[in-house]
């Protein structure tokens, strides 16, 4: 059974004090799990521990924004799966469009991270999505198929059930543009079909929408049949906005 997940990706934002304060506001509302909706926050690495401590005992889960695929060792600047788990993380984002576009991560690198995270017991939020030029040239389905195939390569049936897919139309991230509910649903339906072809556990894999979801458009987006939550960027940094999205998720779940 698919679950609703409302996830906040704080990216390279907040300082310790502001991050802990934000986490506290969310935890105060999400004192217990509401109507089948799970809540996740992914702060920057330095604040995993204090944020994790602040949300402890609430229904808010802790996740990281990335991970490396090697075991602990001589990999300066990287973070291992074991370290994230030691900080209390249950989730990790992998393949975010900014890491693909800005930091040059390939499908092969992303797949190694996915396999390492799953092997270490983390739930993976696998991010996929097309550029504006790719959408305009009719390549959306082709791009998603390639990214999904790359992300799921070498993943067992059992492991597939521990993956959440997040659809990020890159042209709608931080641009003020948002896919209409109908556009988002159309692509989510494509992803759902791809999952059904790839694994028998497709009915347990949630698909989040990650293209500038906010308090104003969340209810319409989350009402779509194949949208199981949101991966929230800018709105996740404002407690009232994120709480409004959480509430919309509770209604749609």
Residue 206: predicted pLDDT: 97
Pick among 3.40.50.1370, 3.90.1150.10, 3.20.20.70, 3.40.50.1820: CATH of 67-163:
3.20.20.70
Residue 33: what pLDDT?
52
> What percent of the chain clears pLDDT 90, i.e. is strictly above it?
83
Active site residue 96: yes
Higher pLDDT, 163 or 136: 163
Q: What is the C-alpha separation between 45 and 75, in angstroms, rounded?
A: 16
Topology match between the domains 7-65+206-253 and 67-163:
yes
Mean pLDDT of 216-221: 95
Strand partners, 6: 39, 230
The percent of residues above 70 in pLDDT, for the chain, comes to 96
List the chain domain ranges.
Answer: 7-65+206-253, 67-163
User: For residue 230, what are the β-bridge partners?
Assistant: 6, 209
What CATH number should be reported for the domain whose range is 7-65+206-253? 3.20.20.70
Average pLDDT in the 5-20 region? Answer: 98
Among the listed residues 98, 130, 134, 168, the single catalytic one is 168
Q: Identify the pLDDT of residue 12.
A: 98
pTM: 0.96
Residue among 38, 96, 130, 159 flagged as catalytic: 96
236-252: average pLDDT = 92
Provide DSSP, the chain.
---EEEEEE--S---HHHHHHHHHHHHHH-SS-BTTEEEEEE--GGGHHHHHHHHTTSSEEEEES---SSPSSS-TT---HHHHHHTT--EEEES-HHHHHTS---HHHHHHHHHHHHHTTPEEEEEE---HHHHHTT-HHHHHHHHHHHHHTT--HHHHTTEEEEE--GGGSSSS----HHHHHHHHHHHHHHHHHH-TTGGG--EEE-SS--TTTHHHHHTSTT--EEEESGGGGSHHHHHHHHHHHHHH-
Q: What is the pLDDT of residue 31?
A: 66
Q: What is the pLDDT of residues 131-156, one digit of tens each?
A: 888 888 999 999 999 999 999 999 99
Q: What is the pLDDT of residue 34?
A: 56
With beta carbons less than 8 A apart as the criterion, state whether 34 and 250 touch.
yes
How far apart are the C-alpha atoms of 233 and 213, rounded to whole Å? 8
Q: Which two tokens mark 234?
A: 């800018």
How far, in Å, are 12, 64, 160, 238 from residue 110 at the CA level? 20, 15, 15, 29
Say yes or no to pLDDT of 104 above 80: yes
Statement: residue 175 has pLDDT above 90: no
**How does the average pLDDT of the chain come out, rounded?**
93
The pLDDT value recorded for residue 3 is 85
From residue 36, give the alpha-carbon distance in Å to each of 100, 128, 219: 32, 25, 16
Helix 239-252 × helix 16-29 angle, to 10°: 30
């Amino acid at each position: 059974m698919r679950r609703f997940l409302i996830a906040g990706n704080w990216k390279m934002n907040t300082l310790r004090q502001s991050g802990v304060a934000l986490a506290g506001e969310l935890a105060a509302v999400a004192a217990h799990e509401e109507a089948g909706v799970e809540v996740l926050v992914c702060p920057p690495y330095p604040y995993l521990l204090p944020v994790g401590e602040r949300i402890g005992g609430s229904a808010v889960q802790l996740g990281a924004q990335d991970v490396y695929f090697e075991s602990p060792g001589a990999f300066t600047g990287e973070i291992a799966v074991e370290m994230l788990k030691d900080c209390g993380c249950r989730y990790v984002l992998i393949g975010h469009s900014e890491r693909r576009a800005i930091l040059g991560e390939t499908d092969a690198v992303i797949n190694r991270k996915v396999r390492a995270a799953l092997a270490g017991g983390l739930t993976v939020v696998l991010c996929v999505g097309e550029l504006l030029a790719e959408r305009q040239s009719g390549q959306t389905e082709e791009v998603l198929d390639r990214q999904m195939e790359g992300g799921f390569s070498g993943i067992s049936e059992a492991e597939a059930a521990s993956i959440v897919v997040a659809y990020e139309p890159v042209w709608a991230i931080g641009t003020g543009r948002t896919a209409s509910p109908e556009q988002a649903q159309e692509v989510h339906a494509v992803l759902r079909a791809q999952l059904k072809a790839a694994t028998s556990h497709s009915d347990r894999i949630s698909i989040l929408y990650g293209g500038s979801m906010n308090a104003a458009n969340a209810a319409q987006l989350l009402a779509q049949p194949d949208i199981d939550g949101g991966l929230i960027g800018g709105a996740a940094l404002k407690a009232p906005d994120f709480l409004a999205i959480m509430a919309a998720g509770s209604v749609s779940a």
